[in-house]
């Protein structure tokens, strides 16, 4: 092939190479082989006991083989014992004791008895036992109060407190059975429940493997344990001052009633503590945010408190632009406006927080000229913005009155309306139509299908403003405006 001087051979070679590859058959990669689960003896550290048994049983795992009621007729299940394991693993118990098998329940070998048993459920307080749960579907929409405790009945029905009153507990089968043992509730929770009922709440494969699904990976450790690491907290200490500070479950756990799953189930955040322990002057000094030992178990270096621990430091993103454009942040599900802005109260529906400010504060653009000059342009562009605070009656109260520009009315009708109508006819049409007002004197040339008189050859439409009607019969105000527009 002959190449013209000054041209490179490289583009042609690249094109031929790409063409050759395009014509060549593409070899499809082989599908990945299914990875066989290893036994407890082969890989004791990564042994998934439920997934292993499910594979051995041909993909069907019957929960009732190992999990039996604690007593006859009870919905509470006891820890699987030797009697549940012996039908399949008799040799590992009676002939050659299998260390890997014992390690599924015991922390020492040979087992020392009940003292060295692992927690039951296996990952209690470290991983979530449920695969999904929606508080939004379980809470009482009327938020009725339990007369015995003084707290929300829908909270105390499921959540009990430890004997020392420090932390609350997660519901067990006993609490759930209050409703789910009744006919019509799914899943059914009775002593005769099946594996399908169990899987209505639990998927043991997920519990053993936190990376099983994306939703499981989003669940935080604090959600699983109900507490933050290295942080001291006591519910009973807050209950003692419940009446003084008007405390209830949702004062701190205000996001819980609208939580739809474990991934958006959260504990109170630092700013929730700040709203009382930094902003309220009646809090004793030893419980203020400046006293680190009040909350932290681990030693914290003394010094200036972080900005997240005080309401006295304005966040960096609160700029001048943020003042006018903060709708997204203020309406976010985790909006914390109420922490620093004392006139804003916490709300499950975050947007309702806006009313505390916007119902009493005049917007910055509502200047002295806004009513007479500016608001019409904004209302014409987007009236929904006006409707945030104003109702239609508010507009009609003014617009049913004669505008000040129309005074005296006989002079305005006689000809003074010509210039303002020529400058902004859309403003006229806010109240008037051609048929009910203009037609009294003017002929609609469009309806009569007659063309308007032509302008002089050298005069363009926009130049008509330079030749207004004689000013002798115009009010002084319009003479001034003519000078401004010319």
Give the model confidence (pLDDT) of 244-255 as tens digits.
888 889 888 988
3 state SS for 75-87: CCECCCCHHHHHH
Q: So what's the pLDDT on residue 139? A: 93
Comparing 14-18, 63-67, 241-245, the range with the smallest average pLDDT is: 14-18
For residue 453, pLDDT beyond 60: no
C-alpha span between 36 and 55 (Å, rounded): 9
- Which comes out higher in pLDDT, residue 419 or 359? 419
User: What is residue 137's predicted lDDT score, i.e. its pLDDT?
Assistant: 92
- Can you give the pLDDT at residue 21? 45
- Range 341-345, long-range pairs (CB < 8 A, 24+ positions): 342/279
What are the residues whose beta carbons fall under 8 Å from the beta carbon of 19, sequence distance 6 or more? none
Question: Per residue in 77-124, pLDDT tens?
Answer: 998 988 999 988 888 888 888 888 888 888 888 888 888 898 888 888
**Measured distance CA(396)–CA(271) in Å, rounded:** 44
Average per-residue pLDDT for the chain: 77
Tell me the pLDDT band of 45, cut-offs 50, 70 and 90. low
Residue of 262 and 30 predicted with greater confidence: 262
Provide the b/e sequence for 394-410 (b: ≥16 CB within 10 Å).
Answer: eeeeeeeeeeeeeeeee
pLDDT reported for residue 464: 43
Q: Give 479's pLDDT tier (boundaries 50, 70, 90).
A: very low
Tokens of 269: 């955040």
Stretch 238-266: mean pLDDT = 87
DSSP three-state, residue 69: strand
pLDDT, tens digit (0-9, with 9 covering 90-100), for 204-230 = 888 887 776 666 777 888 888 888 888
30, pLDDT greater than 90? no
Task: Decide: helix, strand or coil at residue 94.
Answer: helix
DSSP-based three-state secondary structure for 168: strand
Domain positions in the chain are 314-361, 364-401, 406-444+472-486
The H-assigned helical ranges of 221-350 are 221-225, 235-239, 242-245, 249-252, 270-277, 320-324, 327-330, 337-340
Band the pLDDT of 60: cuts 50, 70, 90: confident
Confidence check: pLDDT of 394 > 70: yes
Has residue 428 got a pLDDT over 90? no
Q: pLDDT band for position 126 (50/70/90)?
A: confident
pLDDT value at residue 22 = 46
């Amino acid at each position: 092939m002959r190449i013209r001087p000054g041209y490179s051979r490289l583009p042609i070679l690249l094109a031929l190479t790409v063409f050759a590859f395009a014509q060549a058959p593409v070899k499809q990669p082989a599908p990945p082989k299914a990875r066989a689960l290893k036994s407890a003896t082969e890989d004791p550290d990564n042994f998934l006991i439920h997934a292993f048994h499910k594979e051995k049983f041909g993909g069907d795992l019957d929960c009732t083989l190992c999990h039996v009621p604690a007593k006859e007729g009870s919905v509470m299940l006891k820890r699987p014992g030797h009697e549940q394991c012996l039908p399949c693993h008799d040799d590992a118990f009676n002939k050659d004791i299998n260390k890997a098998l014992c390690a599924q329940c015991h922390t020492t070998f040979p087992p020392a008895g009940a003292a060295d048993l692992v927690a039951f459920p296996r990952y209690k307080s470290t991983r979530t036992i449920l695969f999904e749960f929606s508080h939004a579907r379980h809470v009482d929409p009327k938020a009725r109060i339990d007369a015995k405790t003084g707290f929300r009945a829908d909270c105390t029905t499921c959540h009990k407190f430890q004997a020392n009153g420090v932390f609350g507990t997660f519901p067990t089968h006993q609490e759930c059975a209050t409703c789910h043992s009744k006919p019509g509730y799914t899943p059914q929770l009775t002593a005769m429940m099946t594996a399908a009922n169990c899987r209505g709440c639990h998927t043991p494969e997920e519990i053993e493997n936190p990376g099983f699904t994306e939703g499981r990976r989003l669940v935080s450790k604090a959600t699983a344990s109900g507490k933050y690491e290295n942080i001291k907290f006591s519910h009973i200490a807050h209950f003692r001052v419940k009446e003084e500070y008007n405390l209830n479950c949702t004062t701190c756990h205000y996001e819980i009633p609208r939580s739809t799953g474990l991934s958006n189930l959260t504990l109170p955040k630092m700013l929730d503590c700040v709203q009382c322990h930094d902003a309220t002057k009646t809090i004793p000094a030893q419980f203020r945010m400046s006293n680190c030992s009040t909350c932290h178990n681990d030693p914290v270096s003394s010094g200036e408190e972080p900005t997240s621990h005080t309401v006295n430091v304005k966040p960096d993103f609160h700029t001048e632009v943020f003042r006018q454009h903060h709708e997204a942040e203020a309406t976010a599900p985790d909006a914390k406006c109420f922490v620093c802005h004392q006139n804003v109260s916490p709300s499950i529906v975050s947007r309702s927080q806006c009313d505390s400010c916007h119902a009493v504060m005049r917007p910055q653009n509502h200047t002295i000229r806004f009513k007479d000059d500016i608001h019409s342009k904004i209302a014409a562009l987007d009236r929904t913005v006006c409707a945030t605070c104003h109702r239609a009656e508010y507009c009609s109260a003014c617009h049913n009155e004669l505008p000040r520009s129309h005074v005296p009315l006989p002079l305005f009708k006689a000809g003074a309306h010509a210039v303002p109508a020529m400058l902004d006819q859309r403003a006229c049409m806010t109240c008037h139509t051609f048929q009910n007002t203009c037609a009294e004197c003017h002929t609609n040339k469009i309806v009569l299908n007659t063309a308007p008189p032509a302008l002089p050859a050298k005069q363009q439409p926009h130049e008509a403003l330079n030749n207004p009607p004689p000013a002798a019969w115009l009010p002084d105000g319009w003479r001034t405006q003519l000078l401004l527009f010319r």
